[in-house]
Structure 1
Amino acid sequence: MKEDEFARNSKLVAIAQSLSEGDSTEKLLELIISEALSFANADAGSIYIRSDRETLHFECLVNRSLLLVRGGTSGVPVDIPDIPLSGEVDGQELHFEAAAACRNGETRLVQEGMSDRQQLYSGAKFYADLIGYEIVSALSIPLSVSDSRVIGVLQVLNAVDGEGQFGPFAEDMIPWIESLASLAAVAIYNRQRLDSHVAKHEQVAHQVQRRTLELETVIDDLQTRNARLQEENMIDGLTGVNNRLAFEDAFKIEWRRAERQGYKLSLLMFDIDHFKEVNDTFGHLAGDQCLRIVSHLIKSAFNRSADFVARYGGEEFVVLLPYLELDSAILCAERLRAIIEAYVIEYTGSEIRLTASVGVSCVQPSSDTDATQLIKLADKALYSAKDAGRNCVRSIAAQ
Structure 2
Amino acid sequence: MKILNILEKPLPITSPGANAVVDFAGLTTSAVAIVTDRTVGGRPLVGYGFGSIGRWSVGGILRDRMIPRLMRADPEALLDEAGLVDPFRCWDVAMRNEKPGGHGDRAAAMGALDMALWDLRAKAEERPLYRLLADRFRGGEADREVAVYAAGGYYRPGKGTSALEDELKGYLDLGYREVKIKIGAVPLAEDLARIEAAIRVMGGGERVAVDANGRFDLARALDYARALAPLGLRWFEEAGDPLDYRLQAVLAEAYEGPLATGENLFSHQDARNLLRYGGMRADRDILQFDCGLAYGLPDYLRTLEELRLHGWSPRSIHPHGGHQMSLHLAAGLGLGGNESYPGVFQPLGGFADVSEVREGRVTLPEVPGVGLELKAGLRAWLAEAFELAPA
Question: TM-score, normalised on structure 2?
Answer: 0.20
- For CA contacts below 8 A with separation 6 or more, give which structure has more relative contact order: 2
**Which is higher, the Rg of structure 1 or of structure 2?**
1
- The structure in which a higher percent of residues are strand is 1
